[in-house]
Amino acid sequence: MRISPFLAMQHLHVIHGRPSWSSSFIIAMVNGCGRFSPLRFEMSGEGDSLACYARATDLASEQELKGPTITMAMAKKEGWTTKPGSKWATMPDLMIRYRAAAFWGRLYASDLLLGLQTQEEVIDVQPVTVKAVAPSLDELNAKITQPVVTAEPDDDIF
């Protein structure tokens, strides 16, 4: 990444035991890497119809790179707006830009993100408890001790 460990530690957050980057760090890494023009955010709509995508130009190929459009409808369907303490309710313009930057970064600069999500994404994902239902020891022993049925070859076939 060619940055100081101290800088990385300032922007690396551990949430629910998972490391994540701050969105501002992702934007700074993309803007400072020298491979792309600075990220720009295209906004449209307002309120529930608010939408945003990030875009930048690949400087080597001069190709414009457009990220996925993030919408408030998506944020609501994903449950991002209803988390306790969520900033989506109070700062939707900033949060939608942060999410657009994260999606753009994963598509076009994944080497800069090192596979890590943003802190906002990790917070928005609710941990799921999975309870495995294993058969009892008696059930397993019963299966092992069942006789194996083998079929005799049919003499008419040969």
Q: What does residue 16 show for φ and ψ, rounded to 5 degrees?
A: 55, 35
What confidence tens digit (pLDDT) does each residue in 65-107 have? 999 999 999 999 988 888 888 888 899 999 999 999 988 988 8
Distance of CA 107 to the CA centre of its chain: 11
- pTM here is 0.67
Q: List C-alpha distances in Å: 100 to 38, 110, 150, 156.
A: 14, 14, 61, 70
More confident of the two residues 107 and 122: 107
Dihedral sign, CA of 115, 38, 120, 48? Answer: negative
Q: List C-alpha distances in Å: 1 to 12, 74, 121, 147.
A: 13, 32, 22, 61
Mean predicted lDDT score pLDDT of the chain: 80
Distance of CA 21 to the CA centre of its chain: 12
Beta strand extents in the chain (DSSP E only):
12-15, 18-21, 40-44, 51-58, 63-66, 70-71, 117-118
Could you give the percent of the chain with pLDDT greater than 70?
Answer: 72
- Determine the pLDDT at residue 117: 58
What confidence tens digit (pLDDT) does each residue in 37-67 have? 999 999 999 988 999 999 999 999 999 999 9
Sequence-distant (≥ 6) Cβ neighbours of residue 28 within 8 angstroms: none
> Residue 113: is its pLDDT beyond 90?
no
Q: Which of 84, 65, 73 shows the shortest CA–CA distance to 124?
A: 84
Q: Specify the range with the lowest mean pLDDT, choosing from 2-16, 67-81, 102-116.
A: 2-16
Q: What does residue 70 show for φ and ψ, rounded to 5 degrees?
A: -100, 130
